[in-house]
Amino acid sequence: MSLRETLEKMERSEKETAQKVRETLKQWREVAIPGLFEQVKEMLSDLIVDGLITVGPRRTEPRSEQLTGQYSIDVLDLSIRGRTITFSPVARYVFGSAGRVDLFARGGLATRYLLLRTVDDATGKDRWGIVSEENRRQSKKGLRFPGALPELSRPTLEDAIQKLLQR
C-alpha cells in the first residue's frame, strides 16, 4: 500500500469515527436522557400531581469529554420541600457502560448516586442501574455492571431521594 493510500484510509476512518461519535451523542442527548427523565417523572407522577415534588428541566454544559468535545444537555431538578435533587448527565462514554448520570442534593455533594446506562442488544432498550458512590467505593471486588447493580425503579429511586434529603 502506498503512503497516499494509507493516508486516505486513515482520513476515511477518522471521518467515520467522528460521524459515529456525533450520532451516538445525538442519541444520548435526544433519546437516552429525555427517556430517563420521563421514566423518573412517571415513577414519581403521583407525588408531582399532588404538588409534593416540582420538576424543572434546565440546560448545562458538562465537562468536555475527549471524544465529544463540549456540548449542552438537559439536567432534571426535583424541588422537594426547599431542597433540590439533581439528575446531571456527566458522561456519555464511561468504561463499562453507555453513559452516566449523577444524582445528588444540591449543597450536599458528599452523597451522590450514579445512574449507569446500558443498552440491551436484543431489544435496543435502555437499562439504568443505580448505586451510591459510597457503596461503589466500598466494594472490594468492584461492581460488574450491569448485573451487579440494582435496576432503577420506584423503590430504588425513592430510597436514594430519601437518603439525599436526610443529608
| Cα–Cα distance for residue pair 30/37, rounded to 1 Å | 11
- pLDDT attached to residue 135: 64
Per-residue pLDDT averaged across 125-137, rounded? 80
What confidence tens digit (pLDDT) does each residue in 87-100 have?
999 877 676 667 88
Task: Show the beta-strand stretches assigned E in 67-107.
Answer: 73-80, 83-91, 100-105
Q: Which of 4-13, 77-86, 99-108, 129-138 has the highest mean pLDDT?
A: 77-86
What average pLDDT does the structure give for the chain? Answer: 84
What confidence tens digit (pLDDT) does each residue in 48-64 have?
999 999 998 787 766 65
